Structure 1
Amino acid sequence: MSEIDVPESHPRYQSLLTRHRIEDGVDRGITTRQGLIAEGRGEAFDYLLGERTISSSDDAARVAAALLLLAERPAISVNGNVAALVPAETVDLAAAVNADVEVNLFNRTDDRMRSIVAHLREHGTDEAGVAVRGLDADARIPGLDHERATVDADGIGNADVVVVPLEDGDRAAALAAMGKAEVVIDLNPLSRSAQAATVPIIDNVVRAVPNITGHARDLSGASRAELEATVRGFDADGALGAAEDAIRSGELG
C-alpha cells in the first residue's frame, strides 16, 4: 500500500499513513521492525487522547518554541521513526529555531546512519541551511552502555537545549543529568522520558513537530524577556497531569 492508496476520508487515515511510512523506512534502511512495535504502542495512547492535540500539549509546544529560541546551541535528535514520519517537518523546525539536526540511534550501523542522513538531506537540510550531524561520533553521553550514548561533540554533546522525540528513557535521564534542557515528545505521560523532560509534550510527533514550528514563527519577534517569561511560567508536572487525566477519561471512538 502506498500513501496515495489511502483515501483521506478513511477513519484511520493518519494511522495507516504512519504505519506505511515506518514500513517503507524498513525497506529503505531507515527504520527497524522494532519501530513498528513502538509506533503501535504510541498509537494506543493517541487513541485515548482522541488523536488530537489537547490544550495543555499545545501550551507545552509554545513553551518549547520559546525555549528553543532562547537557546544558544539547540539540537534536534532524530531516530529512525522520526526520520520516517516527519523528515521535512523536522528540517522546518530546525530552520525556524536555528538548530542542528543530529541522527542518534539505538540500533546504530554505519549504513543506517548514512541512509538517514541522506534521507534528511533529500528533505531539504542543505537548502534550509540546517547542519546534519551524527556521523562524527566523537563524544559520548556519560552513564550509558549502548549506542545512543554516541553523539557528536559539536552537536548534542555541546547543546544546551535538545529536542528528543520518541526518546529512550535512560538517555533522556542521562541528558538531564548533564544539565541539558530537554523538549520531549512522547504520547505516554508516565514514561521516563516525559518525566525527565524540561518541557514534556504529550502528543503525536506528526502533530507536535509542526506545532512547535508554528509557535516558533509566531514568537520570532518576541523579546527575550517575553520568551523567558513564557518558559518560567510553565508547569511540567501540570502538563503531565493534564495529559494523564485526558487519557484516563478518554472515550473510545
Structure 2
Amino acid sequence: MTEIPKSHPRYASLVARERVAEGVKKGYTSTQGLIAQGRGECFDYLLGERTTASAAAAIRAGAALLLLAERPAISVNGNVAALVSEEMVALARALNIPLEVNLFHRSEDRVKKIADLLREKGAEDVLGERPDTSVPGLDHARALATRGGIYDADVVLIPLEDGDRCEALLAMGKRVIAIDLNPLSRTAKKATVSIVDNILRAVPQLTEEVRQLSNKPLSDLEKILNEYDNQETLAGAVQEIRDHLDEQFRKGSD
C-alpha cells in the first residue's frame, strides 16, 4: 500500500481507496468493488465525511435490533473484507454470532480468501464456503446461503449491499440492517434500519453501541426500536446533505 501521511487532508478517504485496491490485488475484492467504493465516497463527501445525527440514531436502533434478535447474522462481501474485516470480527464477537461470506461476483477462490482473512483476524464462526440452500427469488450467486447463518437468521446485517437481496430477505420475514452511504438507494429505502454512514465509522460505533446496550433490559431495547422510524431517518440524511451543501456554498461566498 502507498504510504499516506496522517497529515494529509484526505487521509481517511485515501486509506480506504488503498485498502480496496489492495483487496483486488489479493483476490478477495472484485474490480467492480472499486466502482462501488468511488460511488460511496461521493456520498460521503456530500454528508461532510462525518457520522450525522440520523446515522447515530440508526446505529443505536441497529444495535438494539441485533441484541433483540434470536438468530442474527452478518453478511460479508469483498469490499467489507477489504475495509473492515477486523471490525466485523469484533462486532461478531460482541454478539457471539456468525459471519457469512456472500458475493455477487462469486468464485470459490474469492470466498475462501475472504473466509481465511476473517479467521486470520480472529473470527471463530465463518460460513459461506459450503452453502447448502438459497434465498428464494434471486437468480444469481447472492442467493446462496447457509443454514445456521443468513438463511435461518431473523435479523441480517448487510453492509454495502445490492437492493434485490435486501428485498428477498425481507420477503422471507427477516429484518434487515443496511449500511449504505446512499440514502436514495433501494437497499436504504427497503431495509428495516438504514445506517447512512461510511462503514469505516459505522461498524466500530455499532460495536460500541452493542456493548453499551448489552446490559439493558429488553424493554429499553424495544423502546429504542419502537421509537425508530427508518423513513424519517432517510429524510434526515437527505436534509443533512442539503444543510452541508448550503454550509459549503455559504463558506465559498464569504
Name the residue aligned to 1:44. Answer: 42
What secondary structure, in the 3-state scheme, does the structure 1 residue paired with 2:158 have?
A: strand
> For residue 197 of structure 1, what is the aligned residue in structure 2?
191
> How far apart are the structure 1 equivalents of 2:166 and 2:225?
20
For these two proteins, the number of residue pairs brought into alignment is 247
Distance in 2 between the 1:183 and 1:98 partners?
17
For the residues of structure 1 that align with 2:240 and 2:72, how far apart are their CA atoms? 31
Q: Secondary structure at the residue paired with 2:164? A: helix
Q: 1:103 aligns with which of 95, 101, 104?
A: 101
Give 1:132's aligned residue.
126
Q: Could you tell me how far 1:248 is from its partner in structure 2?
A: 2.7
**Matching residue's letter, 2:240:** A
Contact in 2 for aligned 1:74/1:98 (Cα 8 Å): no
Whichever residue aligns with residue 210 of structure 1, its letter is P
- Which consecutive residues of structure 2, in runs of 5 or more, have no partner in the other structure? none
Q: How do residues 48-63 of structure 1 correspond to structure 2 at under 5 angstroms?
A: 48-63=46-61
TM-superposition CA deviations, 1:155-181 (whole Å, max 9, x none):
100000000000011111111111111
Aligned residue type for 2:234: L
5+ unaligned residues in a row in structure 1: which ranges?
none
User: Structure 1 segments of 4 or more deviating over 3 A?
Assistant: none
- The aligned amino acid for 2:170 is A
| Conserved 8 A contact 1:61-1:208 | yes
Q: CA RMSD in A?
A: 1.1
Cα shift readout 1:138-169 (whole Å, capped 9, x = no counterpart) = 11111110000001122100000000000011
1:188 alignment counterpart: 182
Q: TM-score, normalised on structure 2? A: 0.95
- Tell me if structure 2 keeps the 8 A contact 1:78–1:102: yes
Question: In structure 2, what is the equivalent of residue 207 of structure 1?
Answer: 201
Q: 1:99 deviation in Å?
A: 1.8
- Per-residue CA deviations over 1:34-86 (Å, capped at 9, x if unaligned) read 11110000001000101000011111101111110111111000000000000
* AA partner of residue 237 (structure 1): Q
> Is the CA contact (8 Å cut-off) linking 1:149 and 1:171 kept in structure 2?
yes
Q: Once the 2 structures are TM-superposed, how far is the Cα of residue 220 of structure 1 from its aligned partner?
A: 1.2
Question: Does structure 2 conserve the Cα–Cα contact (< 8 Å) formed by 1:91 and 1:120?
Answer: yes
